[in-house]
A and B are shown apart, each in its own frame.
Chain A
Amino acid sequence: MTSMLHILVIDDEPQVQRAMHTILAKRGYKVTTASDGEEGLALAATSEPDIIILDLGLPDMDGVEVCARLREWTQCPIIVLSVRDSERDKVAAFEKGADDYLTKPFGIEEMLARIGVALRHSTSRQSGMPNKLIRAGALTIDLTWHLVKREGREVKLTPTEYKLLAYLAANEGRVHTHQNILTQVWGQEGMDHPEYLRVYMRQLRKKLEADPENPQYIITESGIGYRFISDE
């Protein structure tokens, strides 16, 4: 192993630090822990982590603020941890540049999957070679030719539907907040109309999903936004 991937965990609970350290070190990551925002910011600057796991409830400063200050100088992926019913905080963290979130308590497989997605995105961003052909189950989305196929047959989408799908698929695995999607797809006008997204999402799922009520490709993140799940 030439270089171990380095994870910085910023969480004030000693038990959480200990558990994360044990679990992640066992899986071959190098783990550094910080107990508050200031220490976390300092360690992020000196130890150059590959990924940062940041608890939003820190004793010394607001986790969203830590997120904003990190984003002033680093593109390192940030996964925020928070408790249930704090959708506002999560959405605020996304606005300040967080990449993903986990709601405490969470399963470790879930955390590892999120770490995987975040790392994949940071490498593809660094290499500057975004994936142009996305596969997800029976779906293929060709972002170059604007072509969507399901089980080999083309799916006819309206321009808005395609825009919505393409935006989510190009950033597969990641959560996009409602506001983020609305401005990307509908521009400024979309900001005040979350219902646009709800209605188009219903149509898109009807065209793509085998069971639109139980979607496999575009997952609803309650109170936050949507996430596209690809095969990768």
Chain B
Amino acid sequence: MKFITMKIPPFVYTLYQFLLVGGLMMIVSMGFEALRYELDNTLIALLYLIPVGLITAFWGFGPGITSAMTAFIAFNYFFMLPHYALAVHYPADIVILTVFLIVAVVISQLVGRMKASLLAANTREQEALQLYELSIALTGVHNEHDVVQILAKEAQAVLQAEHVKLNITGTESFSFHFPDRYVPSRPAELTLPIQTARNFLGEILLWKVASTIPSMEKRLLQTFASQGALALERARLAQSEAQAQVLKESDHLKSVLLSSVSHELRTPLFTIKAASSSLRGDDVVWDSHERVELIEAIDDEADHLNMLVGNLLDMSRIESGSLQPRREWNVLSEIVGSVAARMRYSMNGHTLEVNVPDTFPLVPVDYVQMEQVFTNLVSNGLKYAPVNTAICICANIEDDMLHVQVSNQGTQVPSEHLERIFDKFYRAAATERVTGIGLGLSICRGIIEAHGGRIWAENLLDGLAFKFTLPLSWDGTLSPQIPMDIETE
């Protein structure tokens, strides 16, 4: 039956049922007619109530009434005198007929109503189940896009829609299509707002091939929309809470930064102020050696201040995400070479050993940023390793990755702190004599990660090594071939 109910439109369906019920009653009547001489008319009337009840129970109220009427006519026609005519001889038969009609109609009414309410209960249960599934799916989803995706998928599946589109408005407006991007060219059959008591959050548009969409489906979609609205609002609240948390953290970070920075900036400023005011004062006469010493202090501390400010700027750039590497194919040995050349003057006592083969393929990096990485890693060695030790830079290639190691013979870092030394403002303990604000390594990490690489620290037998990897491919291509010419005589 299910197959038929799905395929046949309502009007044909009734006609078909009408004929079917009529036919059935006819067959039953023929059967009863065979019993006409054995059974009393009143018993036959009682027997007729069986098919009427059954038909109502199976097919509902309409067919029930049809069967009752058919039974009434057939009973009159076959069993009442005169037989085979729609007429009644005895007044008592009229009573039987009337009672039969009333009983048949009442039975079919009652059974039909029961049937209808059962159907309604089933539908409601189905709806409740679908809503339950939707709310389960939406539980714990704190992302607007995920909420919208779930809502669209569920609505499409439950209402068997051709296409579902959700327009979400807010700080970030967007649309979501399901099952694909293709939108039917006609206007949507059903459009419902997605809103809560306070806010309009968007609308849901539904395309479905049907002459009219049953009110039950409309109601279901309405409920879906309000469920979705609640989930969306929840997602937005969660988002703003997360943002508030980030703000709170960055606020805390800022106060750490301010106290650390003001201390670090004041130290070189103090030296500069002391030296310059001494030179300016006329109470003491400085000999040339002393003058040179004071002037050198001013010069050194000015450089130091410049470096601190530079680190702060770099860090704020990394934090704000504006440190985008400007990649080009570069020669690694040139980068390392220029860093080594520049740092030669600040080595005082350390030696710098460089082992970067110049036969390496080109590496896709930002030249200036990579200089910064090497400068910071070498400076770190200069700060923490004792004088007369070596700082080594070496590189090799494994599995299409560049591996670089910058090692020094300084103090080892307890293994539980190896990861933390890349954190902002983190300084290894017991290094009071060392100046800096603990940004150098976190800048390195920011740059390396922006290049798609990884940086970490490892303890060596005689010191500490910073290691990092960088991909040798750039957008899927490896080092390009350069057209070379040859020497001419």
Give A residues with C-beta under 8 Å from B. Answer: 84-85, 87, 105, 156-160, 193-196, 198-202, 206, 212-215, 220, 222-223
Q: Is B336 an interface residue (CB 8 A)?
A: yes
Q: Is B362 an interface residue (CB 8 A)?
A: yes
Instruction: Known contacts A159-B485, A198-B331; decide if A214 and B368 are in contact (CB<8 Å).
Output: no
Q: Is B306 an interface residue (CB 8 A)?
A: yes
Seed contacts A158-B486, A222-B368; 7 additional CB < 8 Å A-B pairs? A193-B480, A195-B482, A196-B483, A199-B484, A201-B334, A206-B358, A213-B337
Fill in one digit per residue for B95-130: 1 if any A CB lies within 8 Å of its CB, else 0. 000000000000000000000000000000000000
Asked whether A160 lies within 8 Å of B330 as measured between CB atoms, the reply is: no
Residues of B within 8 A of A156 (CB): 487
Residues of B within 8 A of A222 (CB): 338, 367-368, 371
Asked whether A157 lies within 8 Å of B487 as measured between CB atoms, the reply is: yes
Residues of B within 8 A of A223 (CB): 367-368
Q: How many A-B residue pairs have CB under 8 A?
A: 73
Q: Is B41 an interface residue (CB 8 A)?
A: no
Smallest CB gap from A224: residue in B = B368
Min CB distance B307 to A, Å, is 10
Instruction: Give 23 A-B contacts (CB < 8 Å), ordered by A residue.
Output: A84-B310, A84-B313, A85-B317, A85-B368, A105-B302, A105-B306, A158-B487, A158-B488, A160-B485, A193-B480, A195-B362, A196-B482, A198-B329, A198-B331, A198-B334, A200-B482, A201-B334, A212-B333, A212-B337, A213-B333, A214-B340, A215-B341, A222-B371
Asked whether A214 lies within 8 Å of B485 as measured between CB atoms, the reply is: no
Bound-complex Cα distance A196 to B331 (A): 11
Q: Is B328 an interface residue (CB 8 A)?
A: yes
Asked whether A195 lies within 8 Å of B354 as measured between CB atoms, the reply is: no
Asked whether A198 lies within 8 Å of B310 as measured between CB atoms, the reply is: no
Asked whether B329 lies within 8 Å of A195 as measured between CB atoms, the reply is: yes
Give B residues with C-beta under 8 Å from A. Answer: 302, 306, 310, 313-314, 317, 328-331, 333-334, 336-338, 340-341, 344, 354, 358, 362, 367-368, 371, 480, 482-488
Min CB distance A226 to B, Å, is 10
Asked whether B362 lies within 8 Å of A199 as measured between CB atoms, the reply is: yes
Bound-complex Cα distance A159 to B306 (A): 43
Bound-complex Cα distance A206 to B344 (A): 20
Residues of B within 8 A of A214 (CB): 337, 340-341, 344
Asked whether A195 lies within 8 Å of B328 as measured between CB atoms, the reply is: yes
Residues of A within 8 A of B358 (CB): 202, 206, 212
Residues of A within 8 A of B302 (CB): 105
Asked whether B368 lies within 8 Å of A220 as measured between CB atoms, the reply is: no
Bound-complex Cα distance A214 to B358 (A): 13
Instruction: Known contacts A87-B368, A160-B485, A222-B368; decide if A195 and B480 are in contact (CB<8 Å).
Output: yes
